[in-house]
Amino acid sequence: MHQSANPSDPCALTGAHDLQPCWDLQLAGLGADALHLALECGLFDQLQEFAAPHEVAGALCLDHANTGYLLELLWSMNLLQRDVRQRYRNTPLAADYLRQDAPTYCGDALLFRHKVMRQTGEQLGDLLRNGSTAPPALSDAIRRGWANAARVQIAQEQRAVTAGVACALLETLPEYPRLERILDLGGGPGLVAVALARRLPALRGVVFEYPECAAVAADNIAAAALDTRLQAVGGDLDQDDFGEGYDLIWCSSVLHFVKDLPAVLDRLHAALKPGGVLVCCQAEVPAVPKQAGRVLPYYLHMRMHGRHVLAEGELARLLRSHGYQRVQQLNDLRFPVTPVNAVIARKEQP
């Protein structure tokens, strides 16, 4: 009598082996390398219409046979479509985000993330053996690096993802139609504040960032012709004044980097006007392994360097203990790289 194979049986003929999750991790790394190579070659720019592998290879001066194998791999990753003549073209995802002339192009951001993750992997052994006594200081070189990322890679992600999610989230707040003064804390290139100001004609506010990044935000604000309503202010999140009387403080993936988290939460409370609302979009560690697996790989390096990556619900508890009222939480917002949780809290009216 025929019996179905049991995946946990080492002699089973079909079904996934217990080791398959480990093998999948190795294969995922190679898939990331293939995407990196395709972006570097400008391959997706050649595939707006169906093209044969030899046509793509000829246009990019690549080996014909191996180009075909790479195209087939990208097809298996749902980045390309294939027709009956074995020609390939972009899927809608690739057309929208991986083509250099697409308005929502994120190729530079993906190349940047790939580089960071590879560097992270190389450093894990040293961090595990030797530890890290304190988060690395933000040297001039690191700040210049952040400014360059804000100008290109982070700006791509804010245009393609973050600004839209931020606006959709904030539009659900009862305070939204009455917002007049905002603080975009650690706003990078400032494109979230720009998107909000375009939707709310009465809105004015500040993008607060390290000086090198604030200069990038100032350029984007000027390019949007919003410099009479928005300003970019450079300073240190841990010690410099970022103003007061805000109806809204938008704080996106910033609190990981502050030195004294409780002190910053108190300063944010003081910066809100009575009835003002703080919205923190922050990655937290879920209690469920499968969900945690979407967050922990990206933040492992940060945690090993002593940055704040809180357990799910911990930020909400901290905010309540620091005097914030009507604290709400919305989990699993789609954000660049990993999902985040939105924690919404208010300063009590007198």
Which pLDDT score, from 0 to 100, does residue 146 have? 85
Which helix (H) or strand (E) is 79 found in, with range?
none
Mean of pLDDT over the chain: 93
Residue 249's nearest CA partner among 238, 235, 236, 265 is 265
Answer for the pair 299, 309: CB distance below 8 angstroms, yes or no: yes
Predicted confidence at residue 177, as pLDDT, reads 95
CATH number of 20-97: 1.10.10.10
- Please give the CATH superfamily to which domain 130-346 belongs: Vaccinia Virus protein VP39 (3.40.50.150)
HSE toward the beta carbon, residue 166, CA cutoff 13 A? 30
pLDDT digits (tens, 9 = 90+) for 129-182: 998 766 666 677 777 888 999 999 999 999 999 999 999 999 999 999 999 999
Parallel/antiparallel/unpaired status of strands 181-185 and 204-209? parallel
Task: Please enumerate in sequence order all residues whose Cβ is within 8 A of that of 104, keeping only pairs 6 or more positions apart, or say none.
Answer: 96, 97, 156, 159, 160
Cα–Cα distance measured from residue 260 to residue 239, given in angstroms and rounded to the nearest whole number: 10
pLDDT per position as a tens digit, 225-237: 999 999 999 999 9
Q: How far is the C-alpha of 31 from the C-alpha of 332, rounded, in Å?
A: 25
CA 142 – CA 132 distance, rounded (Å):
18
Check residue 145 and give its pLDDT. 86
Domain ranges of the chain: 20-97, 130-346
Per-residue pLDDT of the chain (350 residues; tens, 9 = 90+): 444 456 566 677 888 899 999 999 999 999 999 999 999 999 999 999 999 999 999 999 999 999 999 999 999 999 999 999 999 999 999 999 999 999 999 999 999 999 999 999 999 999 999 987 666 666 777 778 889 999 999 999 999 999 999 999 999 999 999 999 999 999 999 999 999 999 999 999 999 999 999 999 999 999 999 999 999 999 999 999 999 999 999 999 999 999 999 999 999 999 999 999 999 999 999 999 999 999 999 999 899 988 999 999 999 999 999 999 999 999 999 999 999 999 999 999 87
Residue type, 289: P
Q: What pTM was estimated for this model as a whole? A: 0.90
Helix ranges restricted to H, the chain: 20-41, 53-60, 64-76, 92-97, 107-130, 140-151, 153-157, 163-170, 191-199, 211-223, 261-271, 289-292, 296-304, 314-321
